[in-house]
Chains A and B, each alone.
Chain A
């Protein structure tokens, strides 16, 4: 019987993060949870505890406050006694049109989806490198693989995040720390609510959570989930730009 996994979930109230954490909880993991809303965080923590987790930390914090990030990571590290897994999962799906019209909104969404996520990864990596161990997972998106008219404000931040994580992963080679870039397609979560998508394109969040858990445990470097998105996005990326521009998706 191995020791309980020590897992930090940043953005623990996100739909996908909850699904991943449920899998860890069922195996008796020790969890540190960080999210903005204290009420929602405590609901998530109670659920995970009932499912078998030992929740050692619930911290209500705005992860966009760059100056607090290192303190939050340090607090979690103390509470857990080290990191086996850190999952950076916070994010928003901004209103594309509103962001086109209001640059402040666009920049605010980039702060959440790119800037704060990148600096958090860096802060976590710093601690994990010292321990020479751990898996650092980050939730990017297939939307970052190619900018589309519908959501390029979001996609641009995820593209930057993927690029950042890829560079970080290369830098950390040989340190014992593995970076796992996770690119979900559309998943049935609150973030996707209101988007008109056909049911068969929207993945079940529990299926996605189990798949991400497996990728983190195996240290897979790049995960498209569901897997079909790897091939769909390969085709979409390969389209010549003039053809791509004409396509209505």
Chain B
């Protein structure tokens, strides 16, 4: 309304950005209001949901991104069977809010509720229950896909185009709706436990003991630990809580208001972690699903804590603990990692997408503030370790892996490429395949 103020702040880059805010580029955007809105022609496009992909898989260098967030109407929900269909821009948080009071939950929840259904499919996301329920794509019953040739297809598990679209990074067309099978829950609460561990051996043993007894498991590692402390952390596990307690209200997040210099961040978080670690060796509590599944949402836009240069997240999956140990050893000698390091063991349930990331083994996610060239060199060394141990990197988190690293982790790349819609393109894809 007030044109004076319409001038962008000088430190702002125009348009949508990725969560890691690297690369920092101006991004053209086109909002969609209805699933049948015309798509631009003659220029490559890419769907963009809530911008929680960390790297460049949600950015398009050669044309606009299609903002899908307004495509967020529910289409149907059967409270008896738990089958829900909604437009692809609907967020998992919105789904949870709708169904929790009626005894259902999304079958897979990642660390943030701010993920669209379309994004959940396109990245075949995973959660703390992967060892039980597998990746998100396993729970998709059908989806609607618009292609640039004007076609509109309803895809089901078993269709080759379905297998390409799940974990297809938005490149096979515009997902306009998704139908999922929800999971029954007795309440909106989780009986959760936190248990500290001093080493990777301990966490492995904890996970061996927990994976048959607990629906949800994940470990936070002290990413700044050195020497004997290396591999220490806190193991979280939980089960749906029985009882007729009323469902918890969806919390409203406070957004982090400005870009913090990073030197403020690490000491603060380190102290927090140490306090937790030293004084709470083991605790039990009844936690709301919002808090249990989405701890990172307590502070909205926390990515700004990493300042203007942004950050990387290095998320890999490794067949066994040896690879994890090697990655952590490298991290501790380079002093590049930030506080938060997350470790989770995937189960053996097969992911349905040609490019799905989840596979049996341990996934390790390390936040790394961007300090320029030395950071990029360190991340390349990390990739080399991942390749050596036969692992793979997660495209949704990546802004810089090499074509080789990508190909080694995803043997079905060439098969997938035949399903790409010619009018769809991402920075990620041009980078790893270009």
Q: Residues of A with Cβ closer than 8 Å to B?
A: 15, 39-40, 43-44, 46-47, 50-51, 142-143, 150, 185-186, 190, 193, 196-198, 201, 248-249
Contacts and interface: CB of A to CB of B under 8 A. Distances in A.
Contact of B76 (A50, A143, A198, A249): A50
Leading 4 A-B pairs by shortest Cβ distance: A47-B73, A190-B33, A50-B74, A249-B2
Given A50-B98, A198-B8, A43 B73 contact: yes
Contacts of A40: 34
Contacts of B36: 39
A31 B272 CA distance: 50
B1 A201 contact: yes
Interface in B27-76: 31, 33-36, 70, 73-76
Contacts of A150: 3
Given A43-B75, A46-B74, A47-B74, 14 more contacts: A40-B34, A44-B73, A46-B73, A46-B75, A47-B73, A47-B75, A50-B77, A142-B1, A185-B1, A190-B70, A201-B1, A248-B4, A249-B2, A249-B5
Nearest to A191: B33
Contacts of A186: 1
Contacts of B245: none
Contacts of B205: none
A237 B33 CA distance: 33
Nearest to B4: A249
A146 to B, nearest CB: 11
Contacts of A50: 74-77, 98
A201 B8 CA distance: 12
Contacts of A190: 31, 33, 70
Contacts of A248: 3-4
Contacts, number: 51
Given A50-B98, A198-B8, A43 B35 contact: yes
A198 B9 CA distance: 9
A171 B37 CA distance: 42
B6 interface: yes
A46 B76 contact: yes
A142 B165 CA distance: 44
A249 B3 contact: yes
Majority secondary structure, A binding face:
helix
A214 B87 CA distance: 27
Contact of A197 (B1, B34, B70): B1
A50 B75 CA distance: 7
Contacts of B76: 46, 50
B5 A198 contact: yes
Contacts of B74: 46-47, 50-51
Nearest to B5: A198
Nearest to B34: A40
B50 to A, nearest CB: 14
Nearest to A13: B34
24 contacts: A15-B70, A39-B34, A43-B87, A44-B73, A46-B73, A46-B76, A50-B75, A51-B74, A142-B1, A143-B1, A150-B3, A185-B1, A190-B33, A190-B70, A193-B31, A196-B6, A197-B1, A197-B6, A198-B5, A201-B1, A201-B2, A248-B3, A248-B4, A249-B1
A105 B8 CA distance: 32
A197 B8 CA distance: 9
Nearest to B30: A193
Nearest to B14: A196
Contacts of B31: 190, 193
A179 B180 CA distance: 43
Contacts of B2: 201, 249
Nearest to A194: B31
A12 to B, nearest CB: 12
Contacts of A46: 73-76
A184 to B, nearest CB: 11
Contacts of B4: 248-249
Nearest to B35: A43
Nearest to B77: A50
Contacts of A142: 1
A50 B87 CA distance: 13
A196 B5 CA distance: 10
A202 B108 CA distance: 32
